[in-house]
A and B are shown apart, each in its own frame.
Chain A
Amino acid sequence: MKPLTLIVSGIVLAAGIVGVATGGVDSQVFGTWVAALLTLAIFSFLYKDNPVYKMAEHIFIGVSAGYVVALEYWNVFIPNLWNPLVSGGNYILLVPFALGLLLFTRFSPRASWLSRWAIAAMVGSYAGFAVIGALQGDLIAQVRASMIPIYSGEAVASMSLAENTNEYIFAFLGVVQNPLTIIGLLTTLIYFFFSREHRGSLGVASRVGIWFLMISFGASFGYTVMSRVSLLIGRLHFLLSDWLGVIQ
């Protein structure tokens, strides 16, 4: 890192802090400028990797890490462990306290095996949650929701009631909705069955499954583009509105 980058950043930061402390600079204005300059520092990566970006990146890592620990202290350690243990006399909490401290034995090659006890408690609990969640939330509920009628008389009748091309198209899509859902689900599951070679009718079904998967990946890609663009719009809105005041 070039010393000049560090010196300039340090001077700007010190000037700002002194300004806020003496009342010469409004803390909200100073905060907006800090946020805007850090935003531009991150955006500078788009041109090329540079010391300003790297410094901002490392500030971000440090601040995020410090944030998490401070929050764990006030929101978990104090109310869920310390207060019940010290003020409430709930001494059984010495067990998770000890297990949590044992996690730090990972730093010692000789004693690191002790951390396995705490890891096992976490892994066992979350494996239990995963089994129950997957079973009732995904497997059974989703299979149950797939028991739909292939033929819907109502949907077929709506085709004859269509008054224009749009309505006819959507009435037709309504008719094929259930059959396509069932075919799509079954062929996708067949595609993921790798115990037999995908040949003959299994191969044909697997191929259809791939088509459904490609449609779903295309939909996911479209939504991913939407998501990323929204994030950019959010930052630009901050720069143009809160910082520069160009837009309301």
Chain B
Amino acid sequence: MKTEVPVIIAFIAGMLMIVSFFSPHPVFAEPAAMMRNWAIIITAFAYVLGVANIARISAGAVRTRGRDWRYKIVMLLSLGAMLGAGLVGGIQGGSVFDWNYNNVMVPMQSTMFSLLAFFIASAAFRAFRARSVEATLLLVTAVIVMLGRVPVGERLWSGLPAFTEWIMEVPNMAAKRGIMIGAALGAISTGLKMILGLERSYLGSDK
């Protein structure tokens, strides 16, 4: 029950997806469509589970006065406020939920990611050294691409944008395709191992 049933479920689900690709026959297509709808629903529950886990761990930290417990209270209050606004008031435009999204979530998420610009500039100065032929190749390409993708590059050499595009379309594309083909072979092998029950790490341990 603990291992055999999940492995059988994974086999049926996976094989339905694969077989329905090759055969449009309703015998396979209908159950596959149903399975896809079920996967959508179950995945939604998984996201709720993730949030419930965050809340549980944070509540535990508050109870035991763990690290940053006061900030955890702020986090739980924010979670409750947003969830309450969404469930009670709805998610349509003009709602409190929508206001929170536009004026709290959007600015903060955008700003979090924009910090990376500073970090990458700092890393460029502190860490990127042409210590070898390969590193030099990487740095020279990076400089050409950075110049070629902005108007300043075109002022230096009128052909730089086109040359940059050639670098993207030829050597970059060739290497990326090699990586893609290698990754595809790996994904096919791992996917088949999971479906056939040879790979069971996703089930966790039995202890």
Contacts and interface: CB of A to CB of B under 8 A. Distances in A.
Given A35-B106, A35-B107, A74-B86, A224 B120 contact: yes
B113 A125 contact: no
A36 B11 CA distance: 51
A189 interface: yes
Contacts of B35: 121, 125
Given A134-B184, A218-B141, A66 B79 contact: yes
- Give the interface SS of chain A, mostly helix, strand, loop or mixed: helix
Contacts of B159: 166, 169-170
A95 B178 CA distance: 42
A124 interface: yes
A131 B86 contact: no
B102 A211 contact: no
B177 A96 contact: no
B40 A184 contact: no
Interface residues of B, number: 131
Contacts of B107: 35-36, 38-39, 235, 238
Contact of B146 (A70, A210, A226): A226
Contacts of A204: none
Given A66-B80, A124-B11, A185-B174, A222 B104 contact: no
A241 interface: no
A6 B70 contact: yes
B17 interface: yes
B86 A188 contact: no
B185 interface: yes
Contact of A62 (B75, B120, B124): B75
Interface residues of A, number: 122
Interface string A51-86: 000111111111111111111111011001100000
A70 B92 CA distance: 12
B86 A71 contact: yes
A27 interface: yes
A73 B133 CA distance: 54
Nearest to A145: B177
Given A62-B76, A217-B141, A226-B149, 17 more contacts: A1-B68, A55-B74, A58-B74, A60-B104, A60-B108, A117-B5, A118-B45, A124-B11, A124-B195, A125-B16, A131-B195, A138-B180, A138-B187, A170-B159, A209-B175, A215-B141, A218-B144
8 contacts: A55-B74, A66-B85, A74-B86, A122-B43, A122-B46, A128-B13, A130-B191, A183-B174
Interface of B: 1-3, 5-7, 9-18, 21, 34-49, 51-56, 68, 70-72, 74-87, 90-91, 97, 99-120, 124, 133-135, 137-146, 149, 158-159, 162-163, 166-185, 187-188, 190-192, 194-195, 202-204
Q: Which 4 A-B pairs have the closest CB atoms?
A: A70-B86, A184-B174, A128-B17, A218-B141
